């Protein structure tokens, strides 16, 4: 029986790596898949992992109809046994409903990967709909860690290392890019206290005045 599975976790916990591994393993057994992504950090039409793996993907746009994409591939003689969807937090609720329909009406396995919540701890629309509709939600086994060593459960947006709580929900970025605006994964305790690595270091070195 086909399934809609949502593999979820914080940023930097290995979701894109797993997406590429799942595609590889299914393809190695002769199954045919389609790969989709949206707003990957490395650019359009691809899935990239921090381990260096990268693959071509169909870019999802607001107007993309995932049901129609699969029907179109099939009408061109290309079987589709499974679909991999990365950065699924950025998909719309309609996209997720199209994915559920692929599972239920065409018996296609759908493996979706994404973060659940934004920098304000609010669910992304795509992730919320996936949690509502998925047959299974899987939390990745590899844990990303807060600077304190505890399991990271939340994503913080940072400007010059300091956590911010205002801004657009979608700002494509990385956890370790050196860019002014970036992201840091934190445990809930430190997310609630807005305590990033930079903030914590300043506190221990008595440089609180910098904060």
Residues that are catalytic? 87
By CB under 6 A, tell whether 184 contacts ligand LXEULUCI: no
| Nearest-CB residue for ligand LXEULUCI | 118
Which of ligand ADP, ligand LXEULUCI, none does 41 bind, CB closer than 5 to 8 A by kind? ligand LXEULUCI
Cβ–Cβ contacts within 10 Å for residue 78, how many? 11
CA distance 64 to 149: 41
The two tokens of residue 99 are 């994915």
CA distance 192 to 183: 15
In the complex with ligand ADP, which residue's Cβ is closer, 116 or 196? 116
Which of ligand LXEULUCI, ligand ADP, none does 172 bind, CB closer than 5 to 8 A by kind? ligand LXEULUCI
Site for ligand LXEULUCI in 9-68 (CB under 6 A): 11-12, 15-16, 41
Kind and range of the H or E element at 141?
A: none
User: 83-104 burial, b for 16+ CB within 10 Å, e for fewer?
Assistant: bbbbbbbbbbebbbebbbbbbe
Single residue of 27, 170, 179, 192 touching ligand LXEULUCI by CB under 6 A: 170
In the complex with ligand LXEULUCI, which residue's Cβ is closer, 102 or 152? 152
Cβ–Cβ contacts within 10 Å for residue 125, how many? 17
DSSP state, 46? E
Tell me which residue of 123, 132, 61 sits closest to 100, measured CA to CA. 132
Min dist CB 203 to ligand ADP, Å, is 26
In the complex with ligand LXEULUCI, which residue's Cβ is closer, 46 or 157? 157
The two tokens of residue 91 are 């998909």
Cβ–Cβ contacts within 10 Å for residue 35, how many? 20
Min dist CB 46 to ligand LXEULUCI, Å, is 12
Cβ proximity of 64 and 126 under 8 Å = no
Which of ligand ADP, ligand LXEULUCI, none does 171 bind, CB closer than 5 to 8 A by kind? ligand LXEULUCI
Min dist CB 13 to ligand LXEULUCI, Å, is 8
Q: Which residues are near ligand LXEULUCI by CB under 6 A?
A: 11-12, 15-16, 41, 115, 118-119, 155, 157, 169-173, 183
């Amino acid at each position: 029986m086909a399934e809609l599975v949502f593999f979820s976790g914080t940023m930097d916990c290995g979701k894109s790596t797993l997406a590429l591994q799942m595609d590889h393993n299914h393809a190695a057994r002769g199954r045919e898949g389609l790969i989709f992504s949206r707003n990957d950090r490395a650019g359009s039409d691809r899935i990239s992992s921090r381990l260096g793996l990268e693959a071509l993907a169909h870019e999802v746009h607001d107007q993309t109809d995932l049901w129609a994409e699969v029907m179109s591939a099939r009408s061109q003689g290309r079987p589709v046994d499974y679909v991999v969807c990365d950065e699924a937090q950025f998909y719309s609720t309609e996209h997720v409903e199209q994915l559920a329909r692929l599972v239920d009406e065409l018996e296609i396995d759908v493996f979706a990967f994404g973060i659940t919540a934004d920098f304000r701890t609010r669910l992304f629309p795509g992730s919320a709909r996936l949690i509502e509709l998925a047959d299974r939600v899987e939390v990745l086994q590899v844990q990303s860690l807060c600077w304190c060593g505890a399991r990271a459960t939340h994503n913080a947006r940072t400007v010059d290392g300091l956590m911010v709580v205002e801004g657009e929900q979608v700002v494509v970025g990385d956890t370790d890019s050196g860019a002014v605006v970036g992201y840091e994964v934190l445990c809930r305790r430190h997310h609630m206290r807005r305590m990033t690595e930079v903030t914590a270091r300043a506190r221990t070195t008595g440089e609180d005045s910098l904060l």
